[in-house]
Every structure is written in C-alpha cells, then in structure tokens.
Amino acid sequence: MIIKSLVLNNFRVFRGVHEIDLEPRKASVRQSKAAPIVLFGGLNGAGKTSILTAVRVALYGRAAFGRGLNNADYQEQLNALIHKGVGISEGKTSIELLFTHSQNGVESEYRVVRGWKRNHKDKLLLIQDGNELSNMSPEQCQSFLNELVPTGISELFFFDGEKIAELAEDESGQVLQTAVRRLLGIDVAERLRNDLALYLKRHDAAAMPDSIKAQIEKLEVEHQDAAQKAESMKNDVAMSRARIDLVAAEIHKAEHELSARGGAWAQSREQEQKRQLELEAERKELEKTLRAEMDGSLPLALAPKAMAKLLSQLEAEQALKQKLTFQAELDGFLSQLEAKTDDLSTLKAARLLATEQAKGLSRNDIKLDLSDREFSQLDAQINVSAKGSFQRFDEARKRLSEVEALIAELSVNIARAPEQEQIQDKVDALQALNAKRAEILLEHQAKTEEAKKQYRVAVELARKIQRLHDKHKVAANAESSLVNAQNTHAMLAEFSDSLTQVRVKQLESEFIKSYQKLARKEDLQLSARINTTTFDVELIDEHERVINRKALSAGEKQIYAISILEALAKTSGKKLPIIIDTPLGRLDSKHRDKLIEHYFPEASHQVIILSTDTEIDETYFGDSYLKDDISHAFEIVFDAKTKSSSLREGYFWERDNAQAVGAN
C-alpha cells in the first residue's frame, strides 16, 4: 500500500483546500528507487496531528475514535474537526485520500472521500480504479475499507509517538494478541473454525428428534432473551458509569471553587490552630530550659580560654602550696634532728639544701587559695557540667528558632484562612456531591452485579444448548462432507496452535534483531519471550532474568514498543505505510540517534513523519543522517491572525537556505 495524496478541506486548523502529495520520490538522480520518508515539520499546535487524524478518519470513520462511540458522541467528534478559523462559517469539511493497494497480486487505486456538515452524518464515497462503487452502501464501503486495512493493525502503523509506549506497558497481552492474530492471519483460521462449528451445529439439528429440536428452540429463545437483557443491563451500567463521571467532574469543579475561595486554608485552620498551641507550649518549655542552663554552669562554657587559664593558675597554686607545706615540715624535722644528733656537718648540709629548694617559693604568689575539694568541684564544673550545659543550651536554642519560625508561618496561614461561615455553602455543596457520588457508586455496583448474573444466565443457557447438540450428534452415518467438516474443524484448532507457536518464535527472533539495532550498547543483551497462550511479553536480560517493564524509562519503553512493531510488520510480510506523530519527544540523544539511523529509513517503503524542529533538527536532516532517505518535506505554518495553518514544501531552515542561495 502506498498513500499517494491527501486532500483536506476546512479540516481542523487547515483553512480551505490543501492537496498534499505523499507519494515517495527519488531524493536525487543518483538513486535507483524512491526515498521512503515524507517529512512534515511544524511547531506545537501547527497541525501535525491533524494529518494523522485525517488519514485515520478517512479510512475508518467512527472507528478512528475508538470503540463504544454512540451516534451523538461520533457527531460531536466530527463537529470538532470542522475548521473554526476567522471568517469561516460554512460549517462543513471533507477529506480525500488516494492510495494504491494490492490484493491477490492485483494492484488497484482507491480514492476515499469522506465529508460532513455540522450536526449531519458523514457521507462516504469509495472509488476503485476510477469507478465509483455505487452498488455498495456506505456501511458496505466501510466494511470493504476495514478489510483492506483492518482497524486493529492500523493502530500499529499509524501511531502517535507519545502513546506507543502503551504497547510496552500492556501487561494483559491483549494489544499484542490482537495484533499478532490479525497481522499473521491466525484470526482467519479462527473465523473458519467458527463457521464450520455453525455448519456442524445446523447439520446436527436437522437430524435431531422433534422433541429435542423443540427443547433447543425453547432454550435458544430463552438464551436470546437473556442475552438481550444482559446487553440492556450493560448499557445501564455504562450510563451509571457516565453519571459517576459527571458527578466526579462536578466535584472537581466544586473543589476548585472551594480552593479558589481559600477552602484549603479553612479546612486546615483548626489543625493549624491546634498545632500553634502545641508549638507555643513547646516554646515556653524551651525558654525555661534556656534560663535554667544560664543559671547553672553555662556561663563557664562561654569563656573557654579564660577557664583554661584559671585552671592552669589553680593547678600551679596547688603545686606551690604542696611545696610550701613540705618545706615547713622539713624545717620542723631538721630542728628536731638538731637536738638529737652530734653530726653538725651533715645537719648543716641538709639545712643548706633545704634553703636552696625554698628559694623562689612565696605564699604571696597564691592569689585564690582554693582547697583541694573546691578545686575538684570547679574542675568538674568547667570540664564536664559546662560542656553538657552548652550542648543542651545550643540544642534548645536551635529548636526555639525553628519553633518560632513555624509559629510565624502558622500565623500567616491562619490569618489567610477565611472564616468557616464564608465558605460553608461551598463545603455543604461539596459534601452533597460526595454523598451523591457514593449513592451512584452503590447503584453502579448493584447494576454491575446484576448484569454479571444475567450474563452468567445467558452463558449457562448457551452451554445447555451446546450440550444438547453434543449429545445428539449424528456421526455414524454422516455424509463425507460432514466428516470432512468435522475433521477440518478439529484440524483447524491444532493448526491455529501450531501456527501461533511458529509465528511467535519468528516474532521473537525479529524483535531481537530490531531491538539490537535501536538499543544502546548497554541494553544489547536484552531479548523477549512471548507466552503463546496469554501473549504476555516478558523482557529477558543476559542472565535469563525477567525485567520488570514498569522499571523502564519512557524512552526505553518507546524503543521496546517500536521494536515490537517492526518485528510484527516483518513477520506478517504486509506492505503498509507508517505514519509517526512526534516520534522522538520521549527519547534521550543516544536512542534518538539509533532511531534516526536504523528505524526511519528501514521501517517501510513509505514513512510519513510528523515532527517538530527539535526532533528532526538540522543535524538529523543533514547529509550525515536522513538527507538521502527523505523524498520530500513540508513545513506546516500557523497564522495567528486567521487561526489557520498552511503547507509549503521545504523543511524549516531548508527553504530559508534555498531562498538565501537564490538571492545570492
């Protein structure tokens, strides 16, 4: 498939008619084939996403906006796509998509035209090889388009780069399971198997006794009735869910209004006043602690040098007092010895020695004259009590500073809060809405349980019908066509399982190749393992350990998801274009380089990229990266005066550079 052109008429930000040539061209005369990339550049809000939206709406209509959209919601979505620029009052729009597509080796050209007016249903026109398919109703035309490019796989080829990481985060495996079955043809075998089961059931019914037929018919009526009731209950559940969402929106609005009037401050007013009283009490205790410390040993800690000098002097005085005491005792001893000995020479020598030792010792040098007990007490106060007192004082001082700051902050908050009476009406309204939501939630839960019960009744009736069919199967004398159908039905189940096993192995292999191209060096050892029953995807590191995908960064998830997409495309063998909106916004520089070099040029035969100037910048646009892979480029320019955008060929600075060269 190749998208050749897209024509927009008053679509979203595009005013008037814009015909966009999307068919790949040769980037230079040296190339033997067309370059794959068609590049759109635009600033945020210029209209890049409008290109992707237009392609999806042209092909799929209602399905482009997701499942479960009713007529009113679909009409609202269509109305939102009509251009609303300055001076535009037509209230209508249209999209025209021209593309080629091959089926069974035959290539055809299709032109899809979808248009609508405000508050009017859209009209679809389908032209094949120049001939309008007038024999088909719009619904049949849509079904035909869905067969050409199924909606389930289009999401994997026409995607928004910001949302593609959802594929990596899907732990249910449902997204990948649907993609694998549709892309690889497994769903075809499933449909054929279901058709054969219906054929066998009808054949069995024709050979049954009338009484069994009547029983089955009665059960089928009951089953149909139960299924209709279950579907009706399902709609009731959806309506109650919608009511819950509406009330939630009202609650959000009421909370916003309450907050705007200071409700957040008022709600915490009492708590803050209580907290303020607690802090005031703590401040008083801290001040009491500070005064107690100041009355005790704290002053001794405030002059550590003076205290050290004092202790030094006291120690010197203690030593002097000991020497003077010793000298007095020695003099008394010598006087007693003189009365009892005749050895005067020895006594004279002793007195001479004592006199020399007493030189310089004077009681006048003792200034403070503390006792040993007083000295010990003072030493303990300075070296032990004072240090502990200072630590307690400092901790109390710092905490007091914090408490005073908190009290000041709380005072501001309390002063800021309105009185309760001023916001009571808003508080009452919010409480009423919360009560209403609780009531609807209970109703929603009851309806959900009721719907589940009704579904179980319908399922049980279907099982009874199937058991009756199984009990009265006619196999002994079945015709050869019936035998073949039965054998084929059984074989298809085995074939589907075998095909799934083979295709998933191929998918794992292609994923590893793609991931190794796009991943950084430190991530090259990663591989994937896909459960063929649940289709849950597990990332495996080099030690065969499962990696939690939630732990991956946004960029790593996007690289992982793109690798899965490329693997799916290569395994399926389908030739579909790829449209990527904002492809690089979540990636770091290393991942960007890998994607630019190894994914965009090789992703498909046609790659339409919708980028800002900071994603595909001047470096990536240049010769070292994408220059030879870009067929042609467009810049989307938004005009603030008309509130509309226009397209001109060239890419940001490329057109400006070309004009500058021409001027020179």
Mean pLDDT of 270-279: 81
Tell me the C-alpha distance between 584 and 254, whole Å.
Answer: 38
Whether 127 has a pLDDT exceeding 90, the answer reads: yes
Contact indicator for 518, 579 with CB cutoff of 8 Å: no
Whether 584 has a pLDDT exceeding 60, the answer reads: yes
Whether 446 has a pLDDT exceeding 80, the answer reads: yes
Contact indicator for 599, 517 with CB cutoff of 8 Å: yes
Note whether 323 and 436 are same-domain residues.
no
Note whether 12 and 132 are same-domain residues.
yes
Sheet hosting strand 644-649, strand order edge to edge: 131-132, 123-128, 106-117, 92-103, 2-11, 14-21, 644-649, 630-639, 37-42, 607-611, 578-581, 158-160
The domain that holds 246 is classified in CATH as 1.10.287
Note whether 379 and 455 are same-domain residues.
no
Tell whether 69 is covered by a domain.
Answer: yes
* Per-residue pLDDT reduced to its tens digit, 322-369: 877 777 777 777 777 777 777 777 777 777 777 777 676 766 677 777
pLDDT at 307: 85
Among 473, 488, 511, residue at a domain's last position:
473
Tell whether 375 is covered by a domain.
Answer: yes
pLDDT at 116: 94
Note whether 121 and 217 are same-domain residues.
no
Instruction: Name the band, by pLDDT with cuts 50, 70 and 90, for residue 10.
Output: very high
Tell whether 528 is covered by a domain.
Answer: no
pLDDT at 113: 95
Tell whether 289 is covered by a domain.
Answer: yes
Tokens 């200034």: give the residue. 367
Maximum distance among all Cα pairs of the chain, rounded to whole angstroms: 160
Note whether 108 and 49 are same-domain residues.
yes
Mean pLDDT of 105-111: 88
Give the residue, 77 or 527, on which the prediction is more confident: 77
Tell whether 116 is covered by a domain.
Answer: yes
* Per-residue pLDDT reduced to its tens digit, 535-550: 666 777 777 787 776 6
Looking at every residue in the chain, the average pLDDT score rounds to: 78
pLDDT at 660: 43
* Per-residue pLDDT reduced to its tens digit, 176-190: 666 666 665 555 556
Among 416, 440, 459, residue at a domain's last position:
416
Tell whether 14 is covered by a domain.
Answer: yes
Note whether 256 and 279 are same-domain residues.
no
Identify which of 79-83, 137-141, 435-439, 492-496 has the greatest average pLDDT: 79-83
Mean pLDDT of 111-140: 89
* Per-residue pLDDT reduced to its tens digit, 206-237: 555 667 777 777 888 888 888 888 888 887 88
What SS3 class is residue 371?
Answer: coil
* Per-residue pLDDT reduced to its tens digit, 374-394: 888 888 888 888 888 888 889
Note whether 349 and 232 are same-domain residues.
no
Tell whether 59 is covered by a domain.
Answer: yes
Overall number of domains in the chain: 3
The domain that holds 658 is classified in CATH as 3.40.50.300
Mean pLDDT of 510-515: 81
Tokens 């007092």: give the residue. 321
Among 440, 456, 473, residue at a domain's last position:
473
Tell me the C-alpha distance between 579 and 562, whole Å.
Answer: 12
What's the Cα-to-Cα distance from 492 to each of 199, 476, 507, rounded to whole Å?
A: 15, 22, 21
The 3-class SS string of 476-508 reads CCCCHHHHHHHHHHHHHHHHHHHHHHHHHHHHH
Note whether 404 and 316 are same-domain residues.
yes
Note whether 103 and 237 are same-domain residues.
no
Give residue 445's domain range. Answer: 208-267+421-473
Q: Which residues pair with 530 in a beta bridge?
A: 537
pLDDT at 420: 54
Give the residue, 113 or 617, on which the prediction is more confident: 113
pLDDT at 157: 76
Instruction: Name the band, by pLDDT with cuts 50, 70 and 90, for residue 265.
Output: very low
Give the residue, 96 or 312, on which the prediction is more confident: 96
Instruction: Name the band, by pLDDT with cuts 50, 70 and 90, for residue 158.
Output: confident
Whether 422 has a pLDDT exceeding 60, the answer reads: no
Note whether 214 and 348 are same-domain residues.
no
Tell me the C-alpha distance between 80 and 122, whole Å.
Answer: 13
> What's the one-letter identity of residue 234?
K
Tell me the C-alpha distance between 198 and 195, whole Å.
Answer: 5
Whether 403 has a pLDDT exceeding 60, the answer reads: yes
Note whether 306 and 398 are same-domain residues.
yes
Tell whether 306 is covered by a domain.
Answer: yes
Least confident of 415-429, 578-592, 599-613, 627-641: 415-429
Note whether 257 and 353 are same-domain residues.
no
